[in-house]
Amino acid sequence: QVQLMQSGAEVKKPGSSVKVSCKASGGTFSTYAISWVRQAPGQGLEWMGGIIPVLGTPNYAQKFQGRVTITADESTSTAYMELSSLRSDDTAVYYCARAPSWGYDYWGQGTLITVSS
């Protein structure tokens, strides 16, 4: 059974950066895309970007270009999402998900990032 385990909640100051990890177990990590999706309080789902670990080249939503960096470490089956220049409206739950082309079939538990001075 595939499991995605994310790092814990964080509180960050405006202007700082945050890096969230997503460790996969129980399946093939390298050949499936891992995507990052965020959800602001009371809002819907927003795709941020993704990566296929074996290829290593990330794709980003235009909204986050220049502020987000997605990487993957095949040796530890872990994907990372780093968001910089944090603002209060970046406060959200951030999810990683295994993202084959037909649908996102496995999700992490979510990581709450709170941006507050």
Partner 1 sequence: IHLTQSPSSLSASVGDRVTISCRASQGISNFLAWYQQKPGRAPKLLIYAASTLQSGVPSRFSGSGSGTDFTLTISSLQPEDFATYYCQQLSSYPFPTFGHGTRLEIK
Chain residues in the site for partner 1 (CB under 8 A): 33, 35, 37, 44-47, 50, 59, 61, 95, 97, 99, 101-105, 107-110
Least distance to partner 1, CB of residue 95, Å: 6
Least distance to partner 1, CB of residue 15, Å: 28
Q: Which is nearer to partner 1, 48 or 115 (CB)?
A: 48
CB 24 within 8 A of CB 4: yes
Helix (H), strand (E) counts: the chain: 0, 11
Least distance to partner 1, CB of residue 16, Å: 26
Q: Which is nearer to partner 1, 1 or 117 (CB)?
A: 1
Least distance to partner 1, CB of residue 69, Å: 16
Instruction: Name the strand (E) or helix (H) holding 113.
Output: strand 111-115
Task: Provide the strand spans (E) within 7-103.
Answer: 10-12, 18-25, 34-39, 46-51, 58-60, 68-73, 78-83, 92-98
